[in-house]
Structure 1
Amino acid sequence: MKLINHPVLCNYYLTYRCNATCGFCDIWEKPSPYITLENFKENIRDLKKLGVKVIDFTGGEPLLHRELDQLLALAKKEGFITTVTTNCLLYPKYAERLKGKIDMLHFSVDSPDEEEHNQSRGVKCFDKVLDSIEIAKKNKERPDILFTVFEENVDKIERVWKEICRPNNLVLILNPVFEYNNVETGESLSAETLKKLVCWGKQKNVYLNEAFIELRKNGGNKIENPVCKAASTTIVISPENKLILPCYHLGTKDFQIKNNLLELYKSKEVQEIVALEGRLKECEGCVINCYMQPSFSVEINKYFWKALPSTLKYNYIKGTWKELF
């Protein structure tokens, strides 16, 4: 049974540029412009009309956009929940400008060991993460630590939790790694690792969407009976001001928005693609967290019930649960 029949999330790619070179991501390899303030104003008007609640300001590295503070302020003024994930290289520089404008601020950490984390990110940024935590706390911000889980770093979760999260009273978000297109992320997560993640998800101030684990155990999305609702739950906007369908990672079609996002999204051509969500051959076996998270929240099925406890837990901690309804 479908609970919600409109998009709830916008993944707004401010730029594909990045000041890190993570091996599990290819976005930073792409040439890219930056979105314009004018286009953003036009698009959030229509995002609100479409029923979107959350805007994820993403990239690339979103803090590379010099007008990020203005973009966030506009979104907050219109009542959107805002999220930003950063590698922290630029956060100390722009923290004051961003203060109070981000509901869900995520700092990426892949290891409690400086050298290992920096190697994962392809740039020296571990010290900036620690600096950013202190600055954010002084500004009364509540960042989360986003830990991308690989087979080789799962045993580092405990140290990140004990050495970084608990002393600073931060939420630890466990993000199981996924592969897409030609981007290889190494060995798939084993059954033992998935079991460990479920146990960690039950700890205080640790967020793990258990439906992510259930989906992986079941072999991912099945095109004959898809769980993925990427195109109907999530609107993806590129730095070139294009609507990407059915999702960013497997996008097969894009449309220039031209100040008509509402009309474009409701058009016959776009809705025909939306109807194919989760059913394309590229969708077989997909476990991409970015799109499964909203997919699990709009339709009552076994994944909905698996996702519900952790979703309520996180939004209660962050104080954003009321804004979701």
Structure 2
Amino acid sequence: MRLIKHPVLCNYYVTYRCNAKCAFCDIWEKPSPYITLEDVAQNLRDLKRLGVSVIDFTGGEPLLHRQLPEFLALAREMGFITTVTTNGLLYPKNAEKLRGLVDMLHFSLDSADRATHDLGRGVACYDFVLESIRVAKALGERPDILFTVFRKNLADLEAVYRGITQPNGLVLILNPAFEYGDVETGEQLTPEELDYLSAFGKRKGVYLNEAFIELRRDGGNHVAAPVCRAASTTLVISPSNELVLPCYHLGEQKFPIEGKLFDLYNAPETQRLAALEGRLPACEGCTINCYMQPSFAVETSKYFWQALPSTLKYNWEKGTWKRLIGV
């Protein structure tokens, strides 16, 4: 049963440019403009009308956009929950400008070993992540560590947990890696490794959406009975001010917004493509976390109930439940 019939999240790509070259991502290879404040202001107004509550200003590396603090301030003024994920390279020098503007601030860290982390990211950023933690805490911020889990770094979880997140009082977010297009992430986690990850996710100060694990055990999304609700829960806006459907990773079609996001999203052609969410050939076996997370939250299913405890746990620990209900 569908519980929420409007989109809840916007993945707003401020630029596709990035100052890292992660082996498991190809976005940094794309040429890209930067979004404009004028477009952001108009789109946020329309996103509010559409019922969206969370704005993820993403990239690329979102801190490459010098107006990011202005975007965040505007979104906060309008009552949105804001989230930003960064590799940490630019955070220390921009931290003061971002102070108090990001509800969910994530620093990417995939190993407790400097060389291992930097190799996977294609740039020396490990020390910047540790410095970002120090700076953020000094400013009274509550960042999270986003750990992208592969078979090759699964054994590093314990060291990151014991040596970095727990001593600093940070939430450790476990983000199981996923493949898309021509991007490969290595061998998929075995059933035994999924069990280990599931058990790790139950620790204090750790967030893991258990439905991510179950979806992988089930072989991902199946077009015959899709669980993905990417297009109806999530709006994707490109740096060129386009609405991308049904999701960024497929990008079947891009519609110029031209100041009319509300009307564009509700247009028959747009809704026709949105209705294909989870049903396109490329959707078979998909486990892309950023679209499954909202998909699990809007309708009752076994994934809804498996996702609920960890979602409540995270929002309680972060205090974002207060923003969601307007406290």
TM-score, normalisation: structure 2: 0.99
CA apart distance, 1:324: 3.1
Mapped partners of 1:172, 1:29: distance in 2: 28
CA apart distance, 1:11: 0.1
Mapped partners of 2:212, 2:130: distance in 1: 29
Mapped partners of 1:295, 1:117: distance in 2: 30
| RMSD over aligned Cα atoms | 0.6
CA apart distance, 1:274: 1.0
Aligned to 1:318: 318
Aligned to 1:27: 27
Structural mapping, 1:1-325, within 5 Å: 1-325=1-325
Mapped partners of 1:172, 1:193: distance in 2: 18
SS at match of 1:153: helix
Mapped partners of 1:30, 1:306: distance in 2: 36
Runs of 4+ in 1 over 2 A off after TM superposition: 322-325
Mapped partners of 2:163, 2:205: distance in 1: 14
CA apart distance, 1:323: 3.2
Deviations 1:57-106 (A, max 9, x none): 10000000000000000000000000000000000110000000000000
Mapped partners of 1:31, 1:251: distance in 2: 16
Mapped partners of 1:117, 1:226: distance in 2: 35
Mapped partners of 1:29, 1:2: distance in 2: 38
Deviations 1:211-251 (A, max 9, x none): 00000000000101100000000000000000000000011
TM-score, normalisation: structure 1: 0.99
Q: Given residue 45 of structure 1, which amino acid in structure 2 is its aligned partner?
A: R
CA apart distance, 1:192: 1.4
Mapped partners of 2:11, 2:307: distance in 1: 20
Q: Given residue 289 of structure 2, which amino acid in structure 1 is its aligned partner?
A: N
CA apart distance, 1:322: 3.4
Q: Given residue 91 of structure 1, which amino acid in structure 2 is its aligned partner?
A: Y
SS at match of 2:146: strand
Mapped partners of 2:322, 2:71: distance in 1: 23
Mapped partners of 1:16, 1:142: distance in 2: 26
User: How many residues end up aligned between the 2 structures?
Assistant: 325
Unaligned 5+ segments in structure 1 are none
Q: Given residue 42 of structure 1, which amino acid in structure 2 is its aligned partner?
A: Q
SS at match of 1:137: helix
CA apart distance, 1:190: 1.0
Q: Given residue 135 of structure 2, which amino acid in structure 1 is its aligned partner?
A: I
Unaligned 5+ segments in structure 2 are none
- The alignment-based identity, stated in percent, is 67
Q: Given residue 266 of structure 2, which amino acid in structure 1 is its aligned partner?
A: K
Q: Given residue 242 of structure 1, which amino acid in structure 2 is its aligned partner?
A: E
